[in-house]
Amino acid sequence: MAASKEQVLAALAMVGTPDGRPLPDTGALSDIVVSDGKVFFSISVDAAAVKAWEPVRKAAEEAVRTAPGVQSAMVALTAERAAGAAAPRAPQPAAGARSAPRAAHPADQGQPGVPGVEAVIAVASGKGGVGKSTTAVNLALGLRDLGLKVGMLDADIYGPSLPKLLAITEKPQTIGGTKLKPIERYGLTVMSIGFLIDEDTPMIWRGPMVMSAITQMLREVEWGKLDIMVVDMPPGTGDAQLTMAQQVPLKGAVIVSTPQDLALIDARRGVAMFKRVNVPVLGLVENMSYFLCPHCGERSDIFGYGGAHKEADRLGVPFLGEVPLHMTIREKSDSGLPVVATEPDGPHAKIYRDIAAKVWEQIKPGAAGGRTAPKIVIEA
Residue 325 within binding range of ligand ATP, rule CB under 6 A: yes
Q: Tell me if 18 contacts ligand ATP by CB under 6 A.
A: no
Give min distance, CB of 232 to Mg ion, in A: 6
Residue number with CB closer to ligand ATP (221 or 323): 323
How many residues touch Mg ion under the rule CB under 5 A: the total is 3
CA distance 285 to 278: 20
The item of ligand ATP, Mg ion, none sharing an interface with residue 288, based on CB under 5 to 8 Å by kind, is ligand ATP
C-alpha span between 124 and 166 (Å, rounded): 19
- List the one residue from 88, 91, 128, 177 that touches ligand ATP (CB under 6 A): 128
Q: Is 192 in the site for ligand ATP (CB under 6 A)?
A: no
- Whether the Cβ atoms of residue 281 and residue 274 lie closer than 8 Å to each other: yes
174 scored as a contact of Mg ion (CB under 5 A): no
Q: How far apart are CA 291 and CA 323, in angstroms?
A: 9
Mask for 264-293, x = binds ligand ATP (CB under 6 A): -----------------------xx-----
Q: Applying CB under 5 A, does 257 fall inside the site for Mg ion?
A: no
If the CB atoms of residues 45 and 329 are measured against ligand ATP, the closer one turns out to be: 329
**HEC sequence for 44-75:** EEEHHHHHHHHHHHHHHHHHHHCCCCCCEEEE
Query: Residue 161 interacts with ligand ATP (CB under 6 A)?
Result: yes
Of 134, 192, 237, 362, the residue at the interface with ligand ATP (CB under 6 A) is 134
Contact partner at residue 339 from ligand ATP, Mg ion, none, CB < 5 to 8 Å by partner kind: none
Candidates 72, 133, 241, 243; binder of Mg ion (CB under 5 A) is: 133
Is 25 a residue that touches ligand ATP (CB under 6 A)? Answer: no
From 64, 130, 168, 340, residue interacting with ligand ATP (rule: CB under 6 A): 130
326 binds, among Mg ion, ligand ATP, none (CB under 5 to 8 A by kind): ligand ATP
Q: Which does 333 bind (CB under 5 to 8 A by kind): Mg ion, ligand ATP, none?
A: ligand ATP
- 125 lines the binding site for ligand ATP (CB under 6 A): yes
Nearer to ligand ATP, 258 or 362 (CB): 258
Task: Give, in order, the Cα–Cα distances in Å from 293 to each of 298, 317, 333.
Answer: 5, 30, 18
Q: Could you give the CA distance from residue 76 to residue 54 in angstroms, rounded to a whole number?
A: 10
Pick one of 125, 161, 243, 333: the residue that binds Mg ion (CB under 5 A). Answer: 161
Strand partners, 79: 45
Query: Residue 340 Cβ, how far from Mg ion at the closest point, in Å?
Result: 17
Name the site residues for Mg ion (rule: CB under 5 A): 132-133, 161
Name the site residues for ligand ATP (rule: CB under 6 A): 125, 128-134, 156, 159, 161, 235, 287-288, 323, 325-326, 329-330, 333-334
